[in-house]
């Protein structure tokens, strides 16, 4: 079946047998056991990272509502399995812990989402990290390298990394791709050789700014250590989050494609505005356009732009917007804007942040489903006012 059909039907195959049209929301934390031997067998399976079978036993092993979302995500990613977590950071942590069984060295490409960078750079997990340029990954790999991690498109610069090339360079070392900005609608990292395709489900997958979650799509063999980590460390997705995420998948493609069209329109308008020095958007005006089409079906719905006048002008723009909400996060039905240097990427080392191009004039815009003309009226008004204020100062 094609992806849009899977988006509507995956994880719902038993509905006719159950005589339901919406998935049951199972909030149980524990399950009645028919006999002790059966419960023991389910627990034994879970400890090995396998799915527990006919009885979930306890909420940390499996939840039937979340499992439906996992099955649907696996189908969307062209993966055997998917494992859901309480947040994107819990999902990334599980990948890092699972991979550290193989070796405690990680090769990472900047920029990454600010907290992902912080998790690696802070040493909180006791991992040894080498930061590498995408083309230099092969040379950064050591015998104790457990994981290579990239983010494409990267938050917040929207730079793309060639997944197939990274997988070739990794030469068998697992590769994690944070595909949050692309969603499975625009990119399927596993088909390009990645080991894990990781999402902050809090963003486009949830899509309405009301659910936190994370999910990793991978082979069944790679899913087992992730389930073991989840069972032992407890980063569970809540069943209501699983329900809402599963509910949102059928409309994911139309949301992403519509928001993407709005983002493309705004990229052009921002480019022509005198108050904007640079527009960062995948494929825009030839930027890394070879990867669009080959790796990614479209540019997505997030763009960043550099305002003339630096932090002062960026702050003016944020304060003057009326329709667009100044807030961190992205991928919602409504348009959000934020200042990476002051917010999401504040935790990143100053030199590394500047080297990645995250300066004080950079604003990140997550385009929603509003009419782009209304969004432009708001943005142009704010940019004009900010320009006038900066000139007057």
List residues near ligand PLP by CB under 6 A: 87-89, 113, 115-116, 151, 155, 178, 180, 200, 202-203, 212, 214
Strand partners, 84: 215
- 113 annotated active-site: yes
Q: H helices of the chain, where? A: 3-9, 15-18, 36-47, 64-77, 88-99, 114-121, 137-140, 163-170, 183-186, 220-233, 239-271, 310-320, 350-355, 372-392
**Residue 286 burial by CB count (10 A; 0-12/13-18/19+): exposed, middle or buried?**
exposed
Instruction: Give the whole-angstrom CA distance, residue 307 versus residue 324.
Output: 16
Q: How far is the CB of 336 from ligand PLP (least distance, A)?
A: 12
Q: How far is the CB of 276 from ligand PLP (least distance, A)?
A: 23
| CB closer to ligand PLP, 6 vs 92 | 92
Q: How far is the CB of 178 from ligand PLP (least distance, A)?
A: 5
Instruction: Give the whole-angstrom CA distance, residue 73 versus residue 101.
Output: 26
Q: How far is the CB of 321 from ligand PLP (least distance, A)?
A: 21
- 362-366 and 81-85 beta bridge pairing: unpaired
Q: How far is the CB of 391 from ligand PLP (least distance, A)?
A: 34
Catalytic choice (68, 203, 230, 255) = 203
Catalytic choice (12, 58, 110, 113) = 113
Using Cβ positions, the residue closest to ligand PLP within the complex turns out to be 88
Identify which of 202, 138, 206, 128 has the alpha carbon closest to the alpha carbon of residue 173.
138
| CB closer to ligand PLP, 349 vs 374 | 349
- 60 annotated active-site: yes
Torsion of CA 82, 83, 86, 91, to 10 degrees: -90
Catalytic choice (162, 178, 222, 378) = 178
Q: How far is the CB of 112 from ligand PLP (least distance, A)?
A: 7
**Residue 393 burial by CB count (10 A; 0-12/13-18/19+): exposed, middle or buried?**
exposed
Catalytic choice (51, 60, 102, 320) = 60
| CB closer to ligand PLP, 46 vs 180 | 180
Identify which of 260, 257, 244 has the alpha carbon closest to the alpha carbon of residue 208.
244
| CB closer to ligand PLP, 75 vs 119 | 119
| CB closer to ligand PLP, 187 vs 202 | 202
| CB closer to ligand PLP, 56 vs 214 | 214
Catalytic residues: 60, 113, 178, 203
């Amino acid at each position: 079946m094609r992806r849009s059909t899977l988006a509507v039907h995956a994880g719902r195959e038993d509905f006719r047998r159950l005589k339901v049209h919406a998935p049951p929301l199972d909030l149980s934390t524990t399950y009645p056991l028919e006999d002790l031997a059966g419960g023991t067998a389910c627990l034994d399976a879970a400890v090995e990272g396998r799915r527990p079978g006919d009885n979930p036993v306890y909420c940390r092993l499996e939840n039937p509502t979340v499992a439906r979302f996992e099955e649907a995500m696996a189908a969307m990613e062209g993966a055997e399995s998917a494992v859901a977590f309480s947040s994107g950071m819990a999902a990334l942590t599980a990948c890092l812990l699972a991979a550290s069984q193989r070796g405690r060295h990680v090769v990472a490409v900047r920029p990454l989402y600010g907290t992902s960078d912080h998790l690696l750079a802070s040493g909180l997990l006791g991992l040894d990290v080498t930061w590498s340029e995408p083309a230099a990954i092969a040379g950064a790999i050591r015998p104790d390298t457990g994981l290579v991690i990239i983010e494409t498109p990267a938050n917040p610069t929207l730079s793309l990394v060639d997944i197939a090339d990274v997988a070739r360079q990794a030469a068998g070392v697992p590769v994690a791709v944070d595909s949050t900005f692309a969603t499975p609608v625009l990119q399927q990292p596993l088909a390009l050789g990645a080991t894990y395709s990781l999402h902050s489900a809090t963003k486009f997958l949830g899509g309405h700014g009301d659910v936190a979650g994370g999910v990793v799509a991978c082979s069944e063999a790679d899913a087992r250590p992730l389930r073991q980590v989840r069972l032992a460390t407890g980063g569970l997705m809540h069943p209501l989050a699983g329900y809402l995420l599963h509910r949102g998948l059928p409309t994911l493609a139309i949301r992403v494609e519509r928001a993407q069209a709005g983002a493309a329109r705004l990229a052009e308008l921002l480019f022509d505005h005198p108050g904007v020095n640079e527009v960062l958007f995948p494929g825009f005006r030839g930027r890394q356009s070879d990867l669009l089409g080959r790796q990614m079906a479209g540019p997505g719905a997030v763009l960043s732009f550099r305002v003339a006048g630096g932090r002062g002008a960026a702050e003016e723009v944020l304060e003057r917007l009326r329709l667009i909400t100044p807030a961190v996060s992205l991928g919602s039905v409504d348009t959000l804007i934020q200042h990476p240097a002051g917010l999401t990427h504040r935790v990143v080392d100053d030199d590394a942040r500047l080297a990645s191009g995250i300066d004080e004039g950079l604003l990140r815009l997550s385009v929603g489903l509003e009419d782009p003309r209304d969004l432009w009226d708001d943005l142009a008004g704010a940019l004009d006012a900010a320009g006038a204020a900066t000139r007057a100062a």
